[in-house]
């Protein structure tokens, strides 16, 4: 077995047998992994305050022979993001990010960008910076990174280029916007003003600096929430469990 060492974000923990813990964790080099921390419930010496959900840690682990599981040998806490646990609504937002990351991150597929998006989101949410906006920024960036960008460049029906002027309507089945002449605004085809389209385009740029740079007016937040819900549920084919409580 080859020992590996990596930064990791703890995504799930579960009791496993009499003394072990089953851990799902995200790494930049190897993607989403699942491993067993042997004896972790009896002795915390090798995992001091380490194996808690949301934690950023440094893990030492190796692949078990003839198994999809890894053996987690030790861990060192880097950041517990304590602010994520101070309020139930913040805890829900962090849990929502974990659930969406799980859907968008196949097992054992290296994805350093997704790791950085989640890490940055946890940091800012824990620090109380733009708290209500972080889940929105995270979702737009994560969905775009996962191959589910919203097409904002032209009308998805007539093909006319969107010049940044005039109201558009979002069409879930097309994954993009349509001009009002082709698609009137309805509950299932929500409105996207020019500001909403342009701010969404900026978030889809996938630059991690967006978290600090962007501000989203309340009216844009009100418009983008139903768009993201329809886009996510149509293209992922499911409703996230945590989204029910957030909405």
pLDDT of residue 2: 65
Q: What is the mean pLDDT of the chain?
A: 93
Domain check: are 72 and 97 in the same one?
no
- Burial (CB < 10 A; 0-12, 13-18, 19+), residue 157, is middle
Domain check: are 98 and 114 in the same one?
yes
- Confirm whether 170 is domain-assigned: no
Predicted TM-score of the model (pTM): 0.93
* Backbone torsions φ then ψ of 98, nearest 5 degrees: -65, -45
Are 154 and 162 in contact by the 8 Å Cβ rule? The answer is: yes
Domain check: are 110 and 133 in the same one?
yes
Per-residue pLDDT of the chain (247 residues), as tens digits, is 568 899 999 999 998 888 899 999 999 999 999 999 988 877 667 788 899 999 999 999 998 777 889 999 999 999 999 999 999 999 999 999 999 999 999 999 999 999 999 999 999 999 998 888 999 999 999 999 999 999 999 999 999 999 988 999 999 999 999 999 999 999 999 999 999 999 999 999 878 888 988 999 999 999 999 999 999 999 999 999 888 777 6
- Confirm whether 225 is domain-assigned: yes
- Confirm whether 69 is domain-assigned: yes
Give the Cα separation of 211 and 121 in Å (integer): 8
Name 170's bridge partners.
177
CATH number at residue 33: 2.40.50.140
Domain check: are 237 and 123 in the same one?
yes
Q: Which of 80, 110, 137 is the last residue of a domain?
A: 80
pLDDT of residue 229: 96
pLDDT of residue 27: 97
Domain check: are 76 and 105 in the same one?
no
Give the Cα separation of 38 and 55 in Å (integer): 19
Give the Cα separation of 135 and 47 in Å (integer): 29
pLDDT of residue 66: 77
Domain check: are 107 and 222 in the same one?
yes
Q: Which of 80, 101, 136 is the last residue of a domain?
A: 80
Q: What confidence tens digit (pLDDT) does each residue in 198-218 have? A: 999 999 987 888 898 899 999
Q: Which of 63, 80, 97 is the last residue of a domain?
A: 80
Domain check: are 109 and 223 in the same one?
yes
Nearest by Cα to 24 from 129, 136, 103: 103
CATH number at residue 231: 1.20.1440
Domain check: are 126 and 194 in the same one?
yes
Tell me the residue range of the domain where 27 lies.
4-80
Tally the domains of the chain.
2
- Confirm whether 180 is domain-assigned: no
pLDDT of residue 42: 76
C-beta atoms surrounding 88 within 10 Å: 9
Helices then strands, counting H and E runs in the chain, come out as 7, 8
Give the Cα separation of 211 and 142 in Å (integer): 13
Nearest by Cα to 30 from 7, 58, 54: 7
Assigned token pair, 35: 């491993």
Domain check: are 111 and 61 in the same one?
no
Domain check: are 31 and 145 in the same one?
no
pLDDT of residue 208: 87
Domain check: are 13 and 116 in the same one?
no
Domain check: are 197 and 235 in the same one?
yes
């Amino acid at each position: 077995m080859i020992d590996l060492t990596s930064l990791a974000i703890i995504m799930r923990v579960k009791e496993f047998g009499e003394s072990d813990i089953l851990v799902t964790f995200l790494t930049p080099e190897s993607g989403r992994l699942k491993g067993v921390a042997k004896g972790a419930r009896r002795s915390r010496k090798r995992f001091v305050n380490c194996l808690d959900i949301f934690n950023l840690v440094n893990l030492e682990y190796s692949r078990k022979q003839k198994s999809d599981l890894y053996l987690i040998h030790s861990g060192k806490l880097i950041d517990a993001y304590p602010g994520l646990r101070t309020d139930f609504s913040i805890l829900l937002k962090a849990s929502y990010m974990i659930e969406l990351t799980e859907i968008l991150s196949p097992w054992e597929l290296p994805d350093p960008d997704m790791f950085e998006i989640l890490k940055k989101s946890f940091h800012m949410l824990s620090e109380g910076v733009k708290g209500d906006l972080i889940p929105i920024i995270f979702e737009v960036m994560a969905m775009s990174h996962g191959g589910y960008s919203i097409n904002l460049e032209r009308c998805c029906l007539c093909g006319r280029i969107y010049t940044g002027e005039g109201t558009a309507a979002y069409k879930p089945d097309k994954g993009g916007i349509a001009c009002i002449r082709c698609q009137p605004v309805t509950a299932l085809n929500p409105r996207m003003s020019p500001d909403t389209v342009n701010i969404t385009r900026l978030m889809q740029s996938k630059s991690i600096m967006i978290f600090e740079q962007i501000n989203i007016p309340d009216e844009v937040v009100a418009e983008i929430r139903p768009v993201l819900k329809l886009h996510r549920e149509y293209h992922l084919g499911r409703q996230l469990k945590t989204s029910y409580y957030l909405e």
